[in-house]
Chain A
Amino acid sequence: MEALKLELKNKIITTLNLEDIAIEDIADNDPLFGDGLGLDSIDALELIVILDKDYGIKLVDPKEGKVIFQSIESMAAYISANRTK
């Protein structure tokens, strides 16, 4: 699980072009949206693409994203339980 969290932090920084943010700046339970990393709606769509492309998870209901993308912790937990690759 720790390796997956680290992998997700790396992917988020690279894919979402978070130029001024380092892995150590992201705590596992930090909110990804709002006051946390400050991601926006386009970033949310990119996270959905990451789930599909890298872990074989297709989000059918976008509302699920609100819970899954709360933090690195929640993302890692969801991916661990549902990944197909």
Chain B
Amino acid sequence: MTQKTYIQSYCTIQNNEIVLNGTSVFKTEPTEFADFSKQAYRNFEMQYPKFFKMDALSKLAFLGAELLLSPITSTELENNIALVLANKSSSLDTDVKYQESISDKENYYPSPAVFVYTLPNICLGEISIRHQLKSENSFFIFDVFNTEFMSNYSNILLHSGKAETVLCGWVEFFNDNYKAFLCTISAQENEKYTNETINTLYNK
């Protein structure tokens, strides 16, 4: 019989608002994501200048991960946190921007700083660097958030001993439309979310 796993914390970012464990922790007036994310960064005093160099998808994933992982990784205790994220649009938002920057043959100056974000799993790298993770990580592309797959995949990592905690979720960004849902899952019993699943919390 496999050991039951529990959601420890979750975070949703959409419509200019960040909700952590069901409580709104940051909200702005309607604005573009670039402005919203900058305000959120300053609000939580994240102190990580590389944030400003990231593309929108990485900023979105970074913000959610920061709120969920900082309480874990800021301690001296050793951790083994796997990252399992997914979305629909991959890195298309940045891909389009990059393509636009190289479409004029008379003005052909590809930006290395934009190019490096033309893969969706770069956001996993950004989170790993920030939290010093040398763990399993995977990024999947689905039409919609496949909560069953993500839950099963996370449980396999936990049950096989590949990870003690999994940061699992959905980080979708395209044309300034965005939604992030991230949660941490582990085998540690958590009375707060005994019956909740990724699916019920995502759709809350």
Contacts and interface: CB of A to CB of B under 8 A. Distances in A.
A20 interface: yes
Interface residues of A, number: 13
B53 interface: yes
Interface in B89-119: 109-113, 116
Interface in B20-55: 38, 49, 52-53
Interface stretch (A1-9, A38-46, A62-70, A76-84): A38-46
Contacts of B38: 19
A43 B49 CA distance: 13
B109 A53 contact: yes
A46 B52 contact: no
Nearest to B110: A49
A64 B111 CA distance: 20
Interface string B44-80: 0000010011000000000000000000000000000
B109 A16 contact: no
A19 B113 contact: no
B interface majority secondary structure: helix
B42 to A, nearest CB: 10
B53 A16 contact: yes
A18 interface: yes
Nearest to A15: B113
B50 to A, nearest CB: 8
A36 to B, nearest CB: 13
B109 A43 contact: no
A16 B49 contact: no
Interface in B186-204: none
B136 to A, nearest CB: 26
A53 B108 CA distance: 9
Nearest to B51: A19
A20 B165 CA distance: 33
Contacts of B113: 16-17, 42-43, 45-46
Contacts of A46: 111-113
A28 interface: no
Interface in A22-76: 38, 42-43, 45-46, 49, 52-53
Contacts of B112: 42, 45-46, 49
A15 B77 CA distance: 38
Interface of A: 16-20, 38, 42-43, 45-46, 49, 52-53
17 contacts: A16-B113, A17-B52, A17-B113, A18-B49, A20-B49, A38-B49, A42-B53, A42-B112, A42-B113, A45-B112, A45-B113, A46-B113, A49-B109, A49-B110, A49-B111, A52-B109, A53-B109
